[in-house]
A and B are shown apart, each in its own frame.
With several copies, the nearest count.
Chain A
Amino acid sequence: MAQIVSLSEAVEATVQDGASVALEGFTHLIPFAAGHEVLRQGRRELELIRMTPDILYDQMIGVGAARKLVFSYGGNPGVGSLHRFRDAVEHGWPRPIEVEEHSHAGMANRYVAGASRLPFMVMRGYQGTDLATRTNVRTVICPFTGEQLAAVPALNPEVAIVHAQEADRDGNVQLWGIPGVQKEAVLAAQRSVVTVERIVDQLELRPGGVVIPGWVIDYVAPAPGGSLPSYALGITERDNDFYREWDRISRDREHFQAWMSEQGLLG
């Protein structure tokens, strides 16, 4: 049963140095507040997992918190590069980072396998591309048709952190809008934290609402505005200007460090 605690308690209870951590949210409901709390607590050597690294992981990589990145698309959507991610991969600054990359379909199915507690999932993909030789994918033969398919290994992060619009006092969570892989991430992880815009007396099921019952969540933490500059549909608006602004902030190492320091995110 989910405990409702403060964000700092939730992060302290779940994220240790060296942990594999998935902060998910596919272009929506990105758990910025939780990621920033991980940085404030000074966590290092993390294996960061996320389909779409986005600004949050650029920040976490830029301060050197990550040992490894598991992902499928590392760009600033609609803007361009993630400069801190590039700097880490291209120049090892502030530290070298190991990358394990997949396609979106591969990552999504890795989460499906994880949520199902199956060791792998079957899909069509990877074959005939250089990805197949560079990442953790194998093949499996269909025992009915003989077709060779891709097998992707289950992803079971030690910690999954997602953001949602609301939870009730028992820790039952509801999110709506683009649902991404958040449910799968929570169900695949060994421990989970959901940050929410608000705690309500009773969840009222919404159109498109995805409910995650409190008894499969470890911690629920209120974090109003906790997905900004991403957004929580119906509550906050995506700060597109900041996404553009990040390109300027992050391009230069010193400028980036000054900005992160100002925000108290250097850990």
Chain B
Amino acid sequence: MSVDYTNGELQTVVAARSLAGKRSCFIGVGRPSTAALLARMVHNPRLVLVYESGTIGAKPHRVPLSIGDGELAQSADLVVSVPEMFNYWIGPGRVQVAFLGAAQIDPHANLNSTVIGDYAHPRTRLPGAGGAPEIATGCAEVVVIAPHSKRTFVQRLDFKTTRGERTTLVITDLGVLEPRDGVLTLTTVHPGVSVDEVRENTGFELAVSESLKVSEPPSTEELNALRELVSR
């Protein structure tokens, strides 16, 4: 059975699948939040969602607009202060997986969310580090969710905000990259996406796995759940 879907939807679905069997996930707003909620609906109802606002075990019904939405606090198993979140929970590695985004990512999965251009005279001032640097070194596995473009995938970051050593997956709207000997390597393309298309949208020389896979398209269950979730 074939179902119509967008590559953005598939990106969310692939991110949600990556949480099957995981115990806990640290998430920000936007697509990561949607993916994690989808994972709880379809793959992993016991997944513990952690937001840096201090809500641990949040069970939001709707995708929150901000990480501080009231529903997160009201549905959480516990709510802690920001210092406790970073010192007792993130730093010691109690949260297994982190979903992060970024404006730039380099071949070693280092991330920039600080500035485009020169730091002192930036062309674009981005929001800054937030929780990312310590989340990326505290959690055992980091999954980056980013749009696939030459602007995002760059040879050299304008600013290294966050270290990439723990990154296990980079999930884009074109495919999935994984580190191989420390270098991000295309291991999966989404259905209908060619390696050339990925290469054209990558700002560094793209390493491609010899055993390149094609993503499973969203199942009817996944797609229905995702659309129902987003419509709430």
Contacts and interface: CB of A to CB of B under 8 A. Distances in A.
A86 interface: yes
Interface in B41-70: 48, 52-57, 64-70
Contacts of B137: 124-125
A230 B69 CA distance: 9
A150 B130 CA distance: 17
Interface stretch (B1-9, B88-96, B207-215): B88-96
A30 to B, nearest CB: 9
Interface residues of A, number: 66
Interface string A59-93: 00000000000011111011101100110011000
B13 to A, nearest CB: 21
Instruction: Tell me the dominant secondary structure on chain A's binding face.
Output: loop
B53 A101 contact: no
B76 to A, nearest CB: 9
Nearest to A170: B46
Interface in A1-44: 1, 26-28
A238 B64 CA distance: 11
B12 interface: no
Interface in B102-118: 114
Interface in A228-265: 230-231, 233, 237-238, 240, 243
**Chain B interface residue count: which class?**
35 or more
Contact of A89 (B56, B57, B81, B125): B125
Given A28-B53, A73-B129, A128-B163, A123 B87 contact: yes
B73 interface: yes
Given A77-B29, A124-B137, A134-B119, A115 B65 contact: no
Contacts of B69: 27, 238
Contacts of B124: 86, 90
Contacts of B114: 101, 130-131
B182 interface: no
A177 interface: yes
B123 A78 contact: no
Contacts of A118: 91
Interface in A92-121: 101-105, 108-109, 111-112, 115-118
Contacts of B90: 105
A178 B133 contact: no
A211 B78 contact: yes
A267 interface: no
B74 A213 contact: no
A212 to B, nearest CB: 8
B132 interface: yes
A134 B161 CA distance: 11
Interface of B: 23-24, 29-30, 48, 52-57, 64-70, 72-74, 77-83, 85-88, 90-94, 114, 119, 122-134, 137-138, 159-163
Interface of A: 1, 26-28, 51-52, 71-75, 77-79, 81-82, 85-86, 89-90, 101-105, 108-109, 111-112, 115-118, 123-126, 128-131, 134, 172, 177-181, 183-184, 187, 203, 208, 210-213, 215-216, 230-231, 233, 237-238, 240, 243
- List the 8 closest A-B pairs by CB distance, nearest first: A27-B68, A75-B127, A117-B92, A73-B130, A77-B66, A211-B78, A105-B86, A105-B134
17 contacts: A28-B70, A71-B128, A72-B129, A75-B127, A77-B68, A78-B29, A103-B129, A117-B92, A123-B86, A172-B77, A178-B53, A178-B73, A183-B81, A184-B83, A210-B81, A230-B68, A238-B70
Given A117-B91, A117-B93, A178-B73, 11 more contacts: A51-B82, A72-B129, A77-B66, A108-B87, A129-B133, A130-B160, A178-B53, A203-B77, A208-B79, A230-B68, A233-B70
